[in-house]
Structure 1
Amino acid sequence: MSDAASGSGAATTTTGVAFPGRARVAEGPVWDADARRLHWVDIPAGHLHTGDPVTGRTTSLALPTQVGAALPRRGGGFVAATAEGFASVGAEGRMTVRCALLPDGERMNDAKCDPYGNLWAGSTAMDFARGKGALHVLLPDWTSRVVLEGLALPNGLGWSPDGRVFYLADSLAGEIYAFDADLANSGITRRRTLFRMPGHAGMPDGLTVDATGCLWVAIWGGDRVIRISPDGDPLGELPLPVHQPSSCTFGGPDLGTLYVTSAREGLDLTEDDPAGSVFAVDHVGVVGLPSTAFAG
């Protein structure tokens, strides 16, 4: 990893498997500071996983649907972005669809909570047809609205440290967009392309924003995570031992560990290939931003 990507030349990064797995598409990692646990999902399997970094132990809930992301709720349990729309999930795994809004042939994908506790989620067609994807926001009263249409595979949501800029990747378009964010009104304006992936270099997938305002983006099909400045300049990359890194987030007591999910879907792999596991990268030279629980 280059010094620019690490944020500091003083330390050497170390990458290891934090939680072994064989997930088809592990996604949506979120650090739960209260529980000191990492949560993530396996989208097509409908599994919600929780990992303890101290013991390395993983517990799992099996949901009766595809789940693009699941995040802690302020009152306990989880909010899940599913094939139907949005659902609540109890600690024991019971799921209740609270906001059914998607037709057959579509599903929710990546999702993140903004600092106000609203849930933002991208939806996509099952066949990833261009123009069928959309960006939704779910409010704490469990009502939702469409914020942006005409996407393909919305992914990688995040906000600048001051909350004034919203980021969104459209994986199939190979682009990461920036918007002016109005958090108080759950609005976004002035869309522009922040970064465009070079051809045949992989697709931008899930992302996270560090405390300096830089973006860390998992590159599906690219064997790496890249770091991008708030102006869209590439700062460096973090190689990974898997072909399909899918998303990333900062976690740990000081938010100094970068957790990276990965996928086995569509690959011809040996039994001992680590794809589908969650990786931990230490000593990247920066820390992340705390996550917010869903306020509903």
Structure 2
Amino acid sequence: MRTIDVIATGLRFPEGPAFASDGTLWCVEQEGASLFWLKPDGTSGRLHLGIGSRPNGLYIDDRDRLWFCDSGFQAIRCINYPDQEPETIVDHIGDDPLDWPNDLTFDSEGNLLFTCPGSPDEDQPGFVGVCTAVGEVRKISETLFYPNGIAFLPNARTLLVAETHRKRIWAGRWDGTGLNWISPTVWAETGPTGFGPDGLTLGPDNLLYAAIYGGSCLQVYKPTGTLAGTIKLPGENPTNCAFDPTRQLGLVVTETQKGQLLCIRD
């Protein structure tokens, strides 16, 4: 039987859960200008990012570096923890500044891919960008309305992007050498529930988990884009989710209505 427990409260718009190699769970606090951490022994704390920061998506690489989108500074930033000094990695594409960077991931070639949806109050197309390991930055899509969560399917070659304002998820073949998102098409329609898909996470079961912001649920999809199930949540606004590699916490969800971290165990 599935159980849902609250493992942290009092968070100010949590997003982007991710696990470090020592089992520490991290997430951002968009409205708290901080990264929140929770260790396996139950201790917790915050790493403050400074006035003006508005962190969003978070990715922890195999060197335990914390990569995060910061819409306050219009930048992708990185912390080589425990040095704790954020470094700006990307803040422009050509002469254009980033536009509310939201979520990010890496491909198998070491390219950083990220979404820039623009302001959530505007219904204008945003863009998806890429930054190579040598610092080349370009846009790979400029047609989606509020591009948000970003993830790969199990083959590591099919790139998925959530289009929140149109309530759908797009899929296309990713060429990590030529830096092209090839023939993206609508992979799934998330339906009338909520505002639309937010964060996307590939599970160890090779299913895709989409947080439906405003919908009080996660939707679970097969690699074909077929809906496999729905996980109801106690809070209205899940933003993203991540699986604990140690399996102790199961599936962790960030939820902003109540400012909580949830864990779902079977």
TM-score category of the 2 structures, normalised to the smaller one = 0.7 to 0.9
Number of the residue aligned with 1:278: 261
**Does the C-alpha gap of structure 1 residues 186 and 19 become closer, same or farther in structure 2, counting only changes over 3 Å?**
farther
Contact 1:99 1:143 in 2 (8 A): no
Residue 31 of structure 2: SS of its match in structure 1? coil
Cα distance, 1:71–1:201 mapped onto 2, change above 3 Å? closer
* 1:58 corresponds to: 44
Paired AA for residue 152 in structure 2? W
| Counterpart for residue 86 of structure 1 | 76
Distance 1:212 1:185, change over 3 A: farther
What CA distance in whole angstroms lies between the structure 1 residues aligned with 2:209 and 2:242? 8
How many residue pairs align between the two structures? 259
The residue number in structure 2 matching 1:4 is: none
Contact 2:19 2:244 in 1 (8 A): yes
SS at match of 1:86: strand
Corresponding residue for 1:95?
86
SS at structure 2 position matched to 1:106: coil
Question: RMSD in angstroms over aligned alpha carbons?
Answer: 2.3
With over 3 angstroms needed to count, the CA separation of the structure-2 counterparts of 1:229 and 1:89, relative to structure 1, is same
Query: Residue 17 in 1 paired to residue 6 in 2?
Result: yes
| 2:26 pairs with one of 31, 36, 39 | 39
Q: Structure 2: where are the runs of 5+ without partners?
A: none
Counterpart of 2:181, as a letter, is I
SS at match of 2:32: coil
Instruction: Tell me if structure 2 keeps the 8 A contact 1:71–1:79.
Output: yes
CA apart distance, 1:201: 4.1
Residue of structure 2 equivalent to 1:224: 217
- Which residue identity is paired with 1:251? D
Q: Are residue 215 (structure 1) and residue 208 (structure 2) matched?
A: yes
Change in Cα spacing, 1:140 to 1:21, as seen in structure 2 (3 Å) is: farther
How many angstroms apart in 1 are the aligned matches of 2:248 and 2:136?
A: 32
1:157-196 Cα distance to aligned partner (Å, 9 max, x none)? 1111121211110111111111112234443211111111
**Aligned partners of 1:249 and 1:258 also within 8 Å:** yes
Alpha-carbon shift at residue 80 of structure 1 (Å): 2.5
Equivalent residue in structure 2 for 1:69, among 51, 54, 57: 57
Sequence identity (%): 21
Larger mean CA deviation between 228-237 and 103-112 belongs to 103-112
Please list, as runs of the form range in 1=range in 2, the aligned pairs for 1:215-294 lying within 5 A after superposition.
215-254=208-247, 257-264=250-257, 275-283=258-266
Do structure 1's residue 176 and structure 2's residue 169 form an aligned pair?
A: yes
> Post-superposition shift, 1:112?
1.6
Superposition pairs of residues 158-197 of structure 1, within 5 angstroms: 158-197=151-190
Matching residue of 1:129: 122
Call closer, same or farther: CA 1:105–1:144 in 2, change over 3 Å.
closer
Change in 2 beyond 3 A, CA 1:105/1:192: closer
1:227/1:86 CA distance change after superposition, 3 Å: same
Aligned to 1:268: none
Change in CA separation of 1:200 and 1:210 when aligned onto 2, cut-off 3 Å: closer
1:79: Cα distance to partner? 2.5
Q: After the TM superposition, which of the residue ranges 161-170 and 176-185 deviates more from structure 2? A: 176-185
* Aligned-partner Cα distance in 2 for 1:67–1:129: 20
Code of the residue aligned with 2:87 in structure 1: it is T
Q: Mark the CA change 1:155 to 1:63 in structure 2 (over 3 Å): closer, same or farther.
A: same
- The answer to whether the 8 A contact 1:137-1:147 is kept is yes
Shift of 1:14: 1.4
Pair 1:144–1:45, CA change in 2 (3 A): farther
Deviation at 1:254, TM superposition (A): 4.4
**TM-score (ref. length: structure 1):** 0.79
Aligned-pair distance for 1:256? 7.6
1:19–1:57 CA contact under 8 A, matched in 2: no
Per-residue Cα deviation, 1:189-233 (whole angstroms, up to 9, x for no partner): 111111112224441111111234321111111111111112222
CA gap of 1:17–1:256, structure 2 versus 1, over 3 A, is: closer
